[in-house]
Amino acid sequence: MNVGSPSPLGASVTTTGVNFSVFSYYATHAQLLLFESEDAAQPYRIIDLYPGTNRTSHYWHVHVPGLRAGQLYGYRMSGPYAPDQGHRFDPEKVLLDPYAKALSTKNYQRSAAAKPGDNASACARSVVADLSIYDWEDDSPLGHPFSSTVLYEVHVGGFTRHPNSGVAAERRGTYAGLIEKIPYLKDLGITAVELMPVFQFDAQDAPDGLENYWGYSPMGFFAPHVGYSSRVDPLGCLDEFRDMVKALHRAGIEVILDVVFNHTAEGGNGGPTFSLKGLDNRLYYLLSDDRSQYSDYSGTGNTLNSDYAVLRRMIGDSLRYWVSEMHVDGFRFDLAAVLTRDKHGKPVDDAPILWEIDSDPVLAGRKLIAEAWDAGGLYLVGSFVGDRWKEWNGRFRDDVRRFLKSDRGTVVNLKQRLVGSPDIYTKPSHPPEQSINFITCHDGFTLNDLFSFNGKHNEANGENNRDGASDNYSWNCGVEGPTDDTEIERLRARQIRNALTVTLLSIGTPMLLMGDEVRRTQFGNNNAYCQNDALSWFDWDLRNKHADLYRFTRLLIQLRLSFAASPRGDSLSLNEFLQRANIQWHGVHLWAPDLSVDSHSLAATANLESGGAFHLMLNAYWETLPFALPPRPDGCGPWRRLIDTFQDPPSDFLRQGEEMTDQSTYVVQSRSIVLLTTGGCGVMSS
């Protein structure tokens, strides 16, 4: 055994053993614990790290000969326990290595990490990994432009965990299970999956008797969640994740990770100590003026101090690791506005961490997506820093929902949302794809439930329905919840088609929620973070039950991808693109859009660079409206109906279009959307 090296951080396999290195500024003594197995109640060896020999600057390190990949380990750190000064060192707690590439949680008990005393028998353990032995073959990033991207937010576990998934029991809810469903994603037309958190998370961070299902409770930033692996050993999880990425790439589907760098599962006062809290609480977390209290801009009990240089480096190292070693194609940053806060919690312009990510050469070409708000009220949609970040557009979600439920005063905002939200994205650096357009996501109602429930029904979460948002802009179409009324069911199906049509035909980058294409329901639960059961899982029987909606969604995606949302290769800003597109706005009368508070209708004509034109008519009124049709561009054939969401399937989407007998007027039925195209455009030629 020798003193080892402070670099690289984490556990690194050498030719003769393993080098360990961990950062702690205020620690006075450290111990490295080696475990024989996942089931071992106590370490078989404890190695003391002394400041005089095993500490360089603030890095604690040691090289242990004879060790190899698969070794389980942890740390104990000694230092001041003075909460009023921000210090919470606890030498009885076994701590995870923040840079561990694999973790074992087989014996982990959150309660043991939260109460006083030795938790070695019930701790999570880090695992030494050798990343050099995996064969990526010829895998490389796909680099789809945003202009031809269709995002699909998917939960790795919930996608195949249902018994009717057709996946073998041992692979349900795993990375391997997802591989088996790639043909489904490919057939639907998805170009990128946005995976809900796959960093190792604390599934026990939930109310008693429930389980943290979503995964927004990270325990580390480098290790894939072992609960999504069908392999027996923790290192098998690494290979299974990489197999999934490789298989998705072969199918032409990019992999975007939903990453959580705003907080950890250690919570606030009373929360467990299993990593950063025990390594250097005062530096890693934002603390209030009373340093015994945590600042909470994440809504989870703590907030990471991304203004601290060591944590900024860790975030950058994590992102580079997932790109270089795990081959992912990009990231969606949960509550990204938190990353703009300084050590006092104040928002700052040009936050260093965001520019470091934006300008990192390893991350060049990878997709960066921000949820540009936080739980502290900071809302940065349209003003997020950097040149490359796209943004989840919450205004798109809310404004389209309100229009479709026929709220007053919604047309003026809908007009902006249809064309990329130029009222929000005004910078020259904002391209047409800046807005991530979505109506539903994991957080809130599914699309089916948006038109089936007026209020949330979260009783199963154990909080007396207090949790979850109350302002959902939803409408049950006349009956709360499931119904046998055929007319209400037809209306709900139409509203779902309306929502999908707006999402997939608007300028921006569309995102769909897993299962919306087959009316997945959570029975009114709009905060199913703790429901790891059939309430949240993808019910594969719906694929056949709602085959008509699946077909409609699939054809919409084909239509979307048949023409670029913006000229490829151009660097036009959104406003420059809109000037070139020369979109003409109408209402029921030509060139006279009604933007008054009592209006519920809008129409637009757009000429295609490839020739031909589209004419879109939206009627959220509860009565039919006759829309005047514009003259066709020179050289184009007659108007043909492509989409009419009022029509029953398969007439709701006619692949080749149907020539209109009346070329001057189209009667749009109540609460429906119609898309016409000029003959010969060839947008749906197959």
Mode of pairing for the β-strands spanning 390-392 and 435-437: parallel
| Those residues with Cβ within 8 angstroms of residue 168's Cβ, 6 or more apart along the chain or in another chain | none
Angle at 25 between CA 23 and CA 28, to 5 degrees: 100
List the chain residues with pLDDT less than 70. 564-571, 609-610, 679-686
Residue 428 has which token pair? 């020259």
| Those residues with Cβ within 8 angstroms of residue 542's Cβ, 6 or more apart along the chain or in another chain | 515, 518, 519, 520
Is residue 388 classed exposed, middle or buried when 0-12, 13-18 and 19+ CB atoms within 10 A define those classes?
middle
Please tell me the distance from the alpha carbon of residue 201 to that of residue 187, in angstroms, as a whole number: 31
31 close to 48: Cβ distance less than 8 angstroms: yes
Q: What is the DSSP letter of 232?
A: S
Is residue 535 classed exposed, middle or buried when 0-12, 13-18 and 19+ CB atoms within 10 A define those classes?
middle
The active-site residue, picked from 254, 266, 334, 652, is: 334
Instruction: Quickly count: other Cβ atoms within 10 Å of residue 207's Cβ.
Output: 12
548 close to 562: Cβ distance less than 8 angstroms: no
What is the model's pLDDT at position 265? 99
What is the model's pLDDT at position 568? 46
What is the model's pLDDT at position 570? 53
Is residue 82 classed exposed, middle or buried when 0-12, 13-18 and 19+ CB atoms within 10 A define those classes?
middle
Please tell me the distance from the alpha carbon of residue 148 to that of residue 577, in angstroms, as a whole number: 16
In degrees and rounded to multiples of 5, residue 317 shows phi and psi of -60, -40
What is the model's pLDDT at position 685? 44
Residues 212-238, buried b or exposed e (16+ Cβ, 10 A)? bbbbbbbbbbbbbbbbbbbbeebbebb
Which of 603, 583, 521, 516 shows the shortest CA–CA distance to 556? 516
The active-site residue, picked from 258, 371, 516, 517, is: 371
Identify the CATH number of the domain defined by range 147-266+300-562. 3.20.20.80
Please tell me the distance from the alpha carbon of residue 38 to that of residue 71, in angstroms, as a whole number: 10
What is the model's pLDDT at position 569? 44
Q: Reply yes or no: is the peptide bond before residue 8 cis, omega within 30 of 0.
A: yes
- CA of 399: how far to CAs of 169, 409, 491, 629, in Å? 42, 10, 20, 26
Please tell me the distance from the alpha carbon of residue 641 to that of residue 627, in angstroms, as a whole number: 14
- Among positive and negative, which fits the CA dihedral 675, 679, 684, 686? positive
432 close to 176: Cβ distance less than 8 angstroms: no
Helices and strands: H and E segment counts in the chain: 16, 27
First to last CA, the chain: 67
Same fold, 147-266+300-562 and 581-678: no
Which of 57, 51, 61, 132 shows the shortest CA–CA distance to 97? 61
Please tell me the distance from the alpha carbon of residue 140 to that of residue 299, in angstroms, as a whole number: 37
pLDDT digits (tens, 9 = 90+) for 45-58: 999 999 999 999 99
| Those residues with Cβ within 8 angstroms of residue 406's Cβ, 6 or more apart along the chain or in another chain | 475, 600, 620, 621, 622, 671
Pick the CATH number of 581-678 from 2.40.420.20, 2.60.40.420, 1.10.10.10, 2.60.40.1180: 2.60.40.1180
Residue 357 has which token pair? 């990510």
pLDDT digits (tens, 9 = 90+) for 589-640: 999 999 999 999 999 999 876 678 999 999 999 999 999 999 988 888 999 9
Which of 651, 673, 645 shows the shortest CA–CA distance to 493? 645
Is residue 398 classed exposed, middle or buried when 0-12, 13-18 and 19+ CB atoms within 10 A define those classes?
middle
What is the model's pLDDT at position 571? 63
Q: If residue 34 lies in a helix (H) or strand (E), which one and from where to where?
A: strand 29-35
Helix residue ranges per DSSP H, 269-410: 276-284, 309-324, 352-359, 394-404
Does 576 qualify as catalytic in the annotation? no
Determine the longest span between alpha carbons in the chain, in angstroms. 89
Residue 69 has which token pair? 């990949």
Does 371 qualify as catalytic in the annotation? yes
Going from N- to C-terminal start, the domains of the chain cover 147-266+300-562, 581-678
